[in-house]
Amino acid sequence: MEEGDIHARRWEDLDNDILVKILQSFDVFELTSGIAHVCSAWRMACCDPLLWKTLDLSMLKSNFIRIPLEPYVYVHGRSDKNLTRLLKISLSLSRGNLRTLIFHFNLYVSDDQLTYTAERCPRLKRLVLPAWNRIKKTGICKAIRMWRELESLTMPSIANPPYFIEEISRNCENFSELKIMGPFDIYFASTLAAYLPRLKVLSLRCSMLIKDALIIILDSLQSLEVLNISHCLLIDIQPPPSQKIVIKKLDESILEKASRLREFITCMDDSCFMCERTKNDEGLMRWYKYEEGLWKADEVRSLAL
């Protein structure tokens, strides 16, 4: 065969299914690095829904410093621009097909970035949003109104939960899973009982948990099937002048209330390194001190990342 008879295929002629299969091995940084601009065939492949079921930004952290005033963090301008660029390209390529959105616990999203995202992925079912400092009431409520299909949320503890939880109750009729990364008190428990009585899965792992709040959950959330309080710092608040008491073993009354659950996941073992860390951090985990990605773990399979 003469050399001139060999017809090499061009990259743009590669079968779309094969190209999508290759692109599935790329992370979001690689997918948004310019691959879609090679040619129209590659852009079509980059927009395939198979690539955009999940937008995982759990490896992206803001370049920030702590400040004494609200929002208590200052984010470097270049860091903000990088996030905005990544969101714009990802949300353009995903074409509204995102179902899961994961932010790093130290990725400080602004109101504008959050609402921009919500407008372009209205069919979101799962949101992981541990960093809250820069998001205001108006921003998060506007986003929730657009995420009407939301079913699962990972969030920080907040001082005034009713406005947000009520917004979920009004707009997300299929909402069933909640993970709270931070202290869980009676106010928060009462809010869930009032607005999300049909909640099925709740994880409070590695948090400070008030005993009376736990009792409210067990008594009030009659649809609850799975409750995770692993590695929690369980506190019993006694009337003055008594001090807070750390509970080291669940009493029979709590175990009896929890017996109706399909899964009641606990760990209060002094030899457990996660229990020890929660105790040392006084129920407010400083995840930055520990192994990268440890914050994404959960004993509840559907909430683990």
pLDDT tens digits, one per residue of 200-220: 999 999 999 999 999 999 999
CA–CA distance, 262 with 258 (Å, rounded to integer): 9
pLDDT at 37: 82
pLDDT at 19: 86
Q: Detail the DSSP E strand segments found in the chain.
A: 54-57, 64-66, 73-75, 100-103, 126-128, 152-156, 177-181, 201-203, 208-210, 226-228, 233-236, 245-246, 263-265
Query: Could you tell me the residue range of the domain that residue 28 belongs to?
Result: 9-51
**What is this structure's pTM?**
0.91
| 46 and 57 part of one domain | no
| 14 and 64 part of one domain | no
| 170 and 224 part of one domain | yes
| 211 and 101 part of one domain | no
| 174 and 111 part of one domain | no
| 18 and 72 part of one domain | no
| 231 and 193 part of one domain | yes
> What is the rounded average pLDDT for all residues in the chain?
93
181, containing H or E segment: strand 177-181
Higher pLDDT, 11 or 240: 240
Task: Decide if 4 is inside a domain.
Answer: no
Closest to 150 in 3D by CA, of 171, 181, 165? 171
Task: Decide if 2 is inside a domain.
Answer: no
Task: Decide if 194 is inside a domain.
Answer: yes
| 188 and 263 part of one domain | yes
Q: Based on the structure, what is the number of domains in the chain?
A: 3
pLDDT in tens, 241-273: 778 899 999 999 999 999 999 999 999 998 999
